[in-house]
Amino acid sequence: MKLMAEKQKIRPLYSQLQGYLSQGPNADGKTSVISDPDFWNHYNKTIDELNDISGNNYDHLEVQPIRGQAASWVPIQTYRSKLGGLISRLHGQFFSDEPAPFGSMPSTIIRQSQQQTQSFQIQMLLEIQSTIDEKIRQFEKGSKEQTFLQKVKSSLASIANITQLVALLLKVGHEVGLTIEQIAKIFS
């Protein structure tokens, strides 16, 4: 119940921050700085309000302008990254049960998952190759078992997942005249 009440108090600020980001300047090459203090002042006041409502401290995400001789400015990238970081943090703390505010968040997770899967597959194939190298020496030259292991080893580079590996083992085993039990015995 407490979280629900906090969410309702924070939601207007969460939406306001998303509005700041969507309507704020982009680093489109025309300029790389914001020189209008209203941008960072409104944003920093929203953080103060968020601190009061939530009981948390988000001051580290405030935008600090760079003070020059004639004026102050903030790099657009700094403004956008702090603002986006705060929105993402609020999403994670209070609104994780809702769709993410940025389209890139899920794809980042998907990319990381794909990289982890690829790393696992590569590691698995290297371990299988190492096992095959070890097992090949245990069988007579020209035997069904050694021929089987050599053919499997030469085809490992084309394997992308465990299903393809199992299919390869069964296919090559059948080609050289081995039963499933004999294949299992080779790797035991």
Who wins on pLDDT, 160 or 171? 171
Using CA atoms, how far apart are residues 58 and 49, in angstroms rounded to an integer?
10
Is residue 31 pLDDT above 90, yes or no? no
User: Whole-angstrom Cα distance, residue 66 to residue 55?
Assistant: 29
Q: 169 near 156, Cβ under 8 Å?
A: no
Nearest in space to 82 (alpha carbons), one of 50, 113, 107? 50
Provide the CA 7 distance to its chain's centre, in angstroms: 26
Distances (CA, A) of 82 to 3, 17, 90, 93: 24, 11, 12, 16
Q: What is the mean pLDDT of residues 19-29?
A: 78
Token code pair at residue 83: 């603002």
Cα–Cα distance measured from residue 145 to residue 177, given in angstroms and rounded to the nearest whole number: 9
Residues in the chain: 188
Can you state the angle between helices 2-23 and 37-54, rounded to 10 degrees?
Answer: 170
Q: Where are the beta strands (DSSP E) in the chain?
A: 33-34, 66-67, 72-75
Sign of the four-CA dihedral 46, 49, 53, 59: positive
Residues in Cβ contact with 139 at an 8 Å cutoff, skipping those fewer than 6 apart: 145, 146, 149
Quick one: which of 160, 68, 63, 147 has its CA closest to 114? 160
40-59 pLDDT, tens digit each? 999 999 999 999 998 999 99
> How confident is the model over 56-93, as pLDDT tens digits?
999 999 999 988 777 888 888 888 889 888 988 898 88
H helix intervals, 62-161: 76-94, 104-136, 144-155
